Amino acid sequence: MKKRIALKQKVLENNDSIARRLRAVFESQKILTLNMIGSPGAGKTALLEQTLRRLPSGLRAAVLTGDIETDNDAARLARFGKPVRQITTGGACHLDAGMIERELDKLETQKVDILFVENVGNLVCPASFDLGEASKIVVLSVTEGDDKPIKYPATFAKADLLVLNKIDLLPHVPFDLARARGNAKRVRPGIDIIETSCLSGEGIDDWLRWIQTRASAM
């Protein structure tokens, strides 16, 4: 047991040291890197599809998208003509900083203003692995339940933004928006919250504004 804890500690320390290196690169090259975390199916890729479709052309975006298997998400996102690379973890339930560092060489980072990283669908493991990002963003859909921020607090506690997605489904599911917001603020008082529907496009302008404000502060 002790050996296992020591090994986990070492893995995380190694990750953190690569993440520090990445953060220095992102800051020096003025790249806004956003680490997007959420359960399988919360709508991370759908939100990125809307983003790549509508982001002003002055902001040059690239995407690294992580999955255990398949390059389905990269194929969905590649349609928008921006640099997109799939990271297939082959079993790991999260991306780690080494995976990002290996992909950076293959992106022309001097031509990137915003790097979106879609993490593996999971509300738990990604929280432990710093990727050198400027912000973590949690995407939570209304079909998952308004109690999730307090059931998975580690992820929400580290996020700067909560995107409450699939609000078009609110008439059909017992999800209390005010309770979800309150639960998120309990775990992370300063968290920003935006409500979106990737189906109707509602709230996407708010999301784009949030990104633009962050990007212009780089």
Ligand X SMILES: Nc1nc2c(ncn2[C@@H]2O[C@H](COP(=O)(O)OP(=O)(O)OP(=O)(O)O)[C@@H](O)[C@H]2O)c(=O)[nH]1
86 sits near ligand X (criterion: CB under 6 A):
no
Q: Residues touching ligand X: how many (CB under 6 A)?
A: 17
CA nearest neighbour of 47 among 118, 129, 95, 115: 118
Q: Of the two residues 45 and 183, which places its CB atom closer to ligand X in the complex?
A: 45
Q: Of the two residues 169 and 177, which places its CB atom closer to ligand X in the complex?
A: 169
Q: Of the two residues 18 and 141, which places its CB atom closer to ligand X in the complex?
A: 141
Q: Of the two residues 18 and 198, which places its CB atom closer to Mg ion in the complex?
A: 198
Q: Of the two residues 83 and 121, which places its CB atom closer to ligand X in the complex?
A: 121
Q: How far is the CB of 66 from ligand X (least distance, A)?
A: 8
* Binding stretches for Mg ion (CB under 5 A): 44-45, 73
Q: How far is the CB of 45 from Mg ion (least distance, A)?
A: 3
Provide CB contacts within 8 A for 178, sequence distance 6+: none
Q: What are phi and psi of 156, to 5 degrees?
A: -70, -35
Q: Give CA–CA dist 134/33, Å, rounded.
A: 5
Q: Lay out the site mask for ligand X across 26-65 (x = CB under 6 A, - = otherwise).
A: ------------x-xxxxxxx-------------------
**Parallel/antiparallel/unpaired status of strands 84-88 and 61-67:** parallel
94 sits near ligand X (criterion: CB under 6 A):
no
Q: Give CA–CA dist 36/161, Å, rounded.
A: 10
- The beta strands (E) that lie in 142-181 are given as 159-165
Instruction: From residue 28, give the alpha-carbon distance in Å to each of 9, 31, 155, 160.
Output: 29, 8, 27, 21
Q: Which residues bind ligand X (CB under 6 A)?
A: 38, 40-46, 73, 121, 165-166, 168-169, 197-199
